[in-house]
Structure 1
Amino acid sequence: MTAEVRPIAASELADWLNALNAGFLTPARVTESDVVQRAKYTDLARLQGGFDTETGRCVASFRSFAQQLTVPGGAVVAASAVSNVTVTATHRRQGLLTRMMAAELAAAKARGEVLSTLIAAEYPIYGRYGYGPAASAAEWEIDVPRGGLDRRWSAPAGGARIDLVDAAEVRRVGPELHERLRAVTHGFIDRDERWWNLTTGLEELSHRPYKEKFHAVYRTAAGEVEGLAAYTVDDRWTDAKTPQNTLQVRGLLALSPAAERALWHFLCSIDWVQTVRTGYRAPDDLVAQLLPDPRAARVVTASDFLWVRLLDVVRALGARTYACPGVLVLEVTDPAGPAGGRYRLDAATGECEVTGDPADLRLDVGALGSLYLGDESALRLAALGRIDEERPGAVALADTVFRTARRPWCPDIF
């Protein structure tokens, strides 16, 4: 069997969606509504497909879309987000993904996008295309009675309040809250209109029906929205008629420490709830330390999450800020081409330029992607053989320069 890779035509969208469902093991029939909805929100020019040359059937899918990524210091860079990547099991090992990825990276570079991002379903795949894990995620399971928060707690201090609201209110106040938080949190990405419509039930996918959630909004004494939590609760009781319910957080945004503390206290004080699952949080999230007994919060997930692949090193390194002054010359290897070269970074000014100066460090583009948002340690990468030090002390300087006080967090799967 042979297959060709090319952009898809509008008439092939249903076939492409069938390939996507097959690749993600979703045995759902593609409806006309699915096709119309996907066409409404998708730039078809950024969809690729692999097509069996004998049958004409779509056997691989690939999509990218424009995204904005907040980097350390609060600047926003233009990213090409990669998603919906599949190769049907019958057509593996034919280089379909490699061809689609090569076409996407060349197109993204031509569009002027600074970097590419993705959420990797499988770890081993994307490193060979220059991506590096750049932000991690963790989830905790809280034993509520052991946690020790006051179950009689009823309201935040200082005149603030928490209200249960409906999805329409979330649709009204959520986007502004998210934008305010995105401006100060590196690792955040933008959320479009469709994201908010899907999360509030204004739209739904045929294979993923909307499930109702509870929504809690935190308002300051002045009435300003500074926090929002969405959650679901199961219905479990023991034979002795004792509640054993688990609350699953579906999203929690907090603009201030007061809002964050209040929302977690609220969630851990709801009657009948014995266990709280926090959903994916930043790995240095405060939730465990907010409990009188932090050991009541057990880590159940700790994993890589957002991956970054630099396309324009000069613009990418010039966009973010750095923890301390220092000058580093980086020799970046990139077999695919876009990011390879030698670059001089002045962390004091944030200026980055192509240079012919001798290299202080040698690393591949994937390692640079892991350093980019401040989550990974240059010292760790050097110990792993991912960074070669050409000037004594350069690795230690890079570790201090690139790291951030708080770890990056991307709360969204895409």
Structure 2
Amino acid sequence: MGTEIRTLGDDDVAEWLKALNNGFHRAVDLSPEEIPLRRATMELDRTRGAFEGGKCVATFRSMPRELTVPGGATVSADAITNVSVTATHRRRGLASRLMAADLAAAKERGDAVAILVAAEYPIYGRFGFGPATWVTSWEVDTPRAALDRRYAGPDPAEGGVELVSGAEVRAFGPDLHERVRRATPGAISRGKPWWDQHTGAVVYASNGYSAPFFVAYRDTATGEVDGLAAYRVNDPHWPNKLPHADVTVVSLIAATPAAEAALWRHVLSLDWVTKVTTDHRPPDDVLPLLLGDPRAARVETHADFMWLRVLDVPVALSARGYAPVAADLVLEVRDEAGLAGGTFRLETAPDAGPRCAPAPGAAPDLSLDVADLGRLYLGDESALRLTTLGLLAEHRPGAAATADVLFRTARRPWCPEVF
């Protein structure tokens, strides 16, 4: 029986969602009420499935997103998600066929890059993706954190922390997030469905919803909300009549250092709490250095997170900012899929914007695979390290060092969310 790869019609949605649950080992039948809620978040012309005899056996979906790049500009990104293959149909090339169809469509649309969060490290390099951002999760032993336990909050003359509702978050959260993500290479845009789902306005019965506490930091002078944190508290039985609550920080974003420090101090100063754990934080987060004893913060997870594939080299490289030095680099990019390969000249100058253009026939200074260009693109990886690994070939002495200076950023890129 042949397997057909195609985009969805409305009549396919329920079967596709069932296959998605099967692929992610969730033996859950969605209620009739939940299916239209999920359908509302899907663009069917960007949602693909592998169908065999009317039954969906593999799923794939992408979403339009803006990706912030070094320098504060954005590029259009094909954000890939919901990639699954039913256990009975593994190792048949279905994910490869779905990926090829999506990337071809993204290239035709004019997307500069494609991005995804890799469930497993070995899968996506063969499709031209490289790990472009990393995340760290922390566990803080609050009794050892050496914070001043008398801390009463930020100076009211500068700002204050306040508990807010989910409805209030939906009102100010999108504007705050835009401010933060425009200053955060690796961050992506969020649509209304994200805010609805993360504040309880829309709840999927199969997932459930556990409401967190939301706290906002408001600047006294401007009245603006400059930071937002969401956290959950688990306060179990107190052994030996001693408090033993723990807090999980679901998210924390801040547009100013004052807001970031105030929100962390609020969470770390909660009564009865002996442990604070975090979700996906920047790999160079300031959290440990806010503590009197940074050793009280222990790394729980440090791993690759968002992977990136360049689809249009001139557009992608012309969009981002670089170190303020004059440079002229010719890059030879290999791409087995034929989507972004070629020879390109990147020119930068302190007093002018960067320019990248095709340079057919030019002698390359550096050669690399498109997946390794994805590693370099947001500034997290070192060109010199890739050269040492043999992943970047230097044809002109000093070219790798020049690329290292150009591409690296002062702070590491960070994608704050799963998508």
TM norm structure 2: 0.96
Question: How far has the Cα of 1:2 moved from its partner?
Answer: 4.6
Pairing 1:209–2:213 present: no
2:85 aligns with 87
Deviation digits for residues 9-31 of structure 1 (CA, Å, limit 9, x no counterpart):
21111110001001111111122
**Separation (CA, whole Å) in 2 of partners of 1:257 and 1:239:** 37
Deviation digits for residues 143-191 of structure 1 (CA, Å, limit 9, x no counterpart):
1010111122112024411111111111111111101111111111011
**Separation (CA, whole Å) in 1 of partners of 2:7 and 2:375:** 30
Task: Between 140-149 and 6-15, report the one with greater CA deviation.
Answer: 6-15
1:195 aligns with 194
**Separation (CA, whole Å) in 1 of partners of 2:261 and 2:108:** 45
1:114 aligns with 112
**Aligned with 1:329: secondary structure?**
strand
1:127 aligns with 125
Equivalent residues in 2 for 1:225-304, closer than 5 Å: 225-304=225-304
1:30 aligns with 30
Pairing 1:369–2:368 present: no
Equivalent residues in 2 for 1:318-337, closer than 5 Å: 318-325=318-325, 326-337=327-338
Deviation digits for residues 295-332 of structure 1 (CA, Å, limit 9, x no counterpart):
10000010001111000000000000101321111000
**Separation (CA, whole Å) in 2 of partners of 1:84 and 1:146:** 41
1:389 aligns with 394
**Separation (CA, whole Å) in 2 of partners of 1:68 and 1:34:** 28
**Aligned with 2:344: secondary structure?**
strand
Equivalent residues in 2 for 1:309-324, closer than 5 Å: 309-324=309-324
**Separation (CA, whole Å) in 2 of partners of 1:312 and 1:385:** 24
Aligned residue identity for 2:414: W
**Separation (CA, whole Å) in 2 of partners of 1:251 and 1:167:** 14
Question: How far has the Cα of 1:279 moved from its partner?
Answer: 1.5
Pairing 1:350–2:354 present: yes
Aligned residue identity for 1:48: R
Question: How far has the Cα of 1:241 moved from its partner?
Answer: 1.2
Aligned residue identity for 1:391: R
Identity rate of aligned residues, in percent? 52
Question: How far has the Cα of 1:363 moved from its partner?
Answer: 0.3
**Aligned with 2:175: secondary structure?**
helix
Question: How far has the Cα of 1:3 moved from its partner?
Answer: 2.1
Question: How far has the Cα of 1:238 moved from its partner?
Answer: 3.9
1:407 aligns with 412
Structure 1 runs (4+) deviating above 6 angstroms are none
1:155 aligns with 153
**Separation (CA, whole Å) in 1 of partners of 2:348 and 2:358:** 15
**Aligned with 2:289: secondary structure?**
helix
Contact 1:2–1:94 (8 Å) recurs in 2: no
Question: How far has the Cα of 1:38 moved from its partner?
Answer: 2.2
Contact 1:151–1:270 (8 Å) recurs in 2: no
2:403 to 359, 383, 398: 398
**Separation (CA, whole Å) in 2 of partners of 1:58 and 1:149:** 54
**Separation (CA, whole Å) in 2 of partners of 1:58 and 1:50:** 6
Contact 1:284–1:406 (8 Å) recurs in 2: yes
2:97 aligns with 99
2:182 aligns with 183
Contact 1:324–1:400 (8 Å) recurs in 2: no
**Separation (CA, whole Å) in 2 of partners of 1:159 and 1:188:** 28
Aligned residue identity for 1:357: A
Task: Between 57-66 and 31-40, report the one with greater CA deviation.
Answer: 31-40
TM norm structure 1: 0.98
2:143 aligns with 145
**Separation (CA, whole Å) in 1 of partners of 2:377 and 2:303:** 18
**Separation (CA, whole Å) in 2 of partners of 1:152 and 1:269:** 9
1:41 aligns with 41
List runs of 5+ in structure 1 lacking aligned partners.
none
**Aligned with 2:71: secondary structure?**
coil
Aligned residue identity for 2:337: A
Pairwise CA RMSD of aligned residues?
1.1
**Separation (CA, whole Å) in 1 of partners of 2:292 and 2:366:** 44
Question: How far has the Cα of 1:389 moved from its partner?
Answer: 0.7
Deviation digits for residues 255-276 of structure 1 (CA, Å, limit 9, x no counterpart):
1111111111111111001111
